[in-house]
């Protein structure tokens, strides 16, 4: 379905004004189309930045600019095709004019992610690396960026290829045994077969062990801040975010809707959700806010319960604490700058006003989320990959059962079918068996120009 026969064009830099803006042209006609746009007469030298003018367009008043044109001949380019990049001043009018002129010369406007899709279709990168490009661009924390960059550099590709090669070898030898039973011997000894499958199960297991952590690094976690009205939830939320994002007043019931903000806690992408104070209410707006608070709490990875350390605890506080027992909970006592009305040595004391205890709170949140250690980057982060490795491992376990112990396998055909299924899952991760629907799904989330 996807064609790489035509030449595509798009603005590769973000929308809006900037110091420079880049128009990227890729495809067989890229050099010709680029030359029709610029005043520089001779053919562009490969990989050499050439300062030139955008040729005056036929219509009067069309924008012109001075640009740096760079030609990357196939196959050593981002897409693996002939690519020309034109760096102009970052003016949307200029950039759009260049794109329009390229289209007039025969290029087509690129779809979202189409440059990266072409890099994949042309074999420059595999699917996990293409996905890593998107993750790298979307990264919010340095750890996310590093995990994505490692994947782009091929760490996951190498692991997947290694497992795939071992599977291929095993399948080939088993097939030989099945195809030539009259030879009277096994190309794979039964004990060796079971051992080889065990090793593969162990290897996929190591990948999956990393997966929970990896998914959290890539997708982040959600922490809901809950508690009674006026205890200082919004103030604590603001202290963690570092700006006065949520409205704070001394009127109980200030926060009505959910307020969310993404923060970087120790490399983790955490979505903090400030919620309406939980209390019985007849106010319809507040009641809706309370309902939303409960929903947010249910889908969060951690519930941060805020108590007011300067006011005696009451029924409402105790009810809230009773409701969250099944969740992952971190309870704190706020307003430590005031005279304490009660104390509990087990609770972290913070002051959203003086910021006392806020650094400790950040650490406590990461510790409560229980995904240490975060220091090195996880090998596998994407749910699509995790699900497929899991599927492969399930098939390997079935193969292991069919392979039996040291005796002759139950049936080599059964083992073979399971191993082939495991291999298919790995090929899908790398994209060797990706259908158009999957590719559309993955690349539609990219921006145009990437």
Strand order in the sheet with 18-26: 50-53, 66-72, 83-90, 18-26, 8-11, 108-109
Which residue stretch of 20-28, 53-61, 109-117, 248-256 sits at the interface with Mg ion (rule: CB under 5 A)? 248-256
Give the pairing of strands 329-334 and 302-308.
parallel
State which of positions 200-239 bind ligand GTP (CB under 6 A).
Answer: 227, 229-235
Does 75 sit behind a cis peptide bond, omega within 30 degrees of 0 on the bond before it?
yes
Q: Per-residue x/- mask for Mg ion, residues 207 to 246, rule CB under 5 A?
A: --------------------------xx------------
Assess 337 for contact with ligand GTP (CB under 6 A). yes
Exactly one of 7, 79, 129, 255 binds ligand GTP (CB under 6 A); that residue is 255
- How many CB atoms within 10 Å of residue 232? 24
To ligand GTP, the closest distance from the beta carbon of 140 in angstroms equals 25
Residues 6+ away with beta carbon under 8 Å from 58: none
In the bound state with Mg ion, the residue whose beta carbon lies nearer, of 27 and 229, is: 229
Do 65 and 94 touch, CB atoms closer than 8 A?
A: yes
Q: Which of 396, 398, 392 is nearest to 430 (CA)?
A: 392
Residue 113's binding partner among Mg ion, ligand GTP, none (Cβ under 5 to 8 angstroms by kind) is none
Return the one option of ligand GTP, Mg ion, none that residue 101 interacts with (CB less than 5 to 8 A, by type). Answer: none
Minimum CB separation from ligand GTP for residue 309, in Å?
Answer: 8
H/E element holding 62?
A: none
Residue 289 touches ligand GTP, criterion: CB under 6 A = no
Nearest distance from residue 277's CB to Mg ion, in Å?
6
Which does residue 351 bind out of Mg ion, ligand GTP, none, counting CB within 5 to 8 angstroms by kind? ligand GTP
**Shortest Å, Cβ 314 to ligand GTP:** 14
DSSP state letters, 243-280? S--S---SSTT---S-EEEEEEETTEEEEEEE-PPP--
CA atoms within 13 A on the CB side of 88: 26
Q: Least separation, in Å, of the C-beta of 227 and ligand GTP?
A: 6
| Residue 10 binding: pick among ligand GTP, Mg ion, none (C-beta 5-8 Å cut-off by kind) | none
Could you give the string, one character per residue 259-288, with x where binding to ligand GTP holds by CB under 6 A and - elsewhere? -----------------xx-----------
Structure tokens at 153: 């550099």
Provide CB contacts within 8 A for 40, sequence distance 6+: 50, 52, 53, 69
Minimum CB–partner distance for residue 255 and Mg ion (Å) = 3
**Of residues 277 and 449, the one with the C-beta less far from Mg ion:** 277
Looking up tokens 């001949």, which residue turns up?
A: 73
Per CB under 6 A, residues contacting ligand GTP are: 227, 229-235, 248-250, 252-255, 276-277, 334-335, 337-338, 351-353
């Amino acid at each position: 379905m996807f064609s790489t026969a035509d030449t595509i064009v798009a603005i590769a830099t973000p929308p809006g004004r900037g110091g420079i803006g880049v128009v990227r042209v890729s495809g067989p006609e890229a050099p010709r189309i680029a030359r029709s746009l610029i005043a520089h007469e001779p053919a562009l030298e490969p990989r050499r930045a050439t300062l030139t003018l955008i040729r005056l367009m036929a219509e009067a008043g069309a924008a012109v600019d001075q640009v740096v044109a760079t030609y990357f001949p196939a196959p050593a380019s981002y897409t693996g095709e002939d690519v020309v990049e034109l760096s102009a001043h970052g003016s949307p009018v200029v950039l759009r004019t260049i794109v329009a002129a390229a289209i007039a010369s025969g290029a087509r406007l690129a779809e979202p992610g189409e440059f990266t899709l072409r890099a994949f279709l042309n074999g420059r990168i595999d699917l996990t690396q293409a996905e890593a490009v998107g993750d790298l661009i979307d990264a919010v924390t340095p750890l996310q960026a590093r995990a994505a960059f490692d994947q782009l550099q091929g760490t996951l590709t190498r692991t997947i290829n290694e497992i795939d090669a071992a599977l291929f070898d095993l399948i080939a030898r088993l097939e030989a045994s099945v195809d030539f039973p009259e030879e009277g011997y096994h190309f794979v000894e039964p004990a060796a077969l079971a051992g080889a499958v065990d090793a593969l199960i162990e290897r996929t297991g190591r990948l999956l062990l990393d997966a929970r952590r990896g998914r959290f690094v890539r997708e982040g976690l959600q922490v809901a801040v809950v508690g009674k009205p006026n205890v200082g939830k919004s103030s604590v939320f603001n202290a963690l975010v570092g700006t006065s994002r949520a409205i704070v007043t001394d009127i109980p019931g200030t926060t009505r809707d959910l307020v969310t903000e993404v923060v970087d806690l120790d490399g983790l992408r955490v979505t903090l959700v400030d919620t309406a104070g939980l209390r019985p209410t007849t106010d319809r707006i507040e009641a809706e806010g309370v309902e939303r608070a409960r929903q947010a709490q249910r889908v969060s990875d951690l519930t941060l319960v805020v108590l007011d350390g300067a006011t005696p605890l009451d029924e409402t506080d105790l009810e809230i604490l009773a409701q969250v027992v099944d969740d992952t909970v971190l309870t704190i006592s706020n307003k430590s700058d005031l005279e304490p009305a009660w104390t509990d040595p087990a609770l972290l004391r913070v002051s959203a006003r003086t910021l006392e205890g806020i650094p400790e709170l950040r650490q406590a949140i990461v510790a409560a989320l229980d995904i240490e250690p975060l220091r090195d980057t996880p090998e596998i982060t994407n749910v699509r990959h995790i699900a497929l490795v899991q599927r492969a491992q399930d098939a390997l376990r079935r193969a292991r059962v069919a392979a039996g112990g040291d005796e002759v396998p139950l049936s080599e055909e059964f083992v073979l079918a399971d191993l082939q299924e495991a291999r298919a899952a790995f090929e899908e991760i790398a994209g060797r068996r990706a259908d158009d629907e999957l590719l559309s799904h993955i690349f539609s989330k990219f921006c145009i120009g990437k």
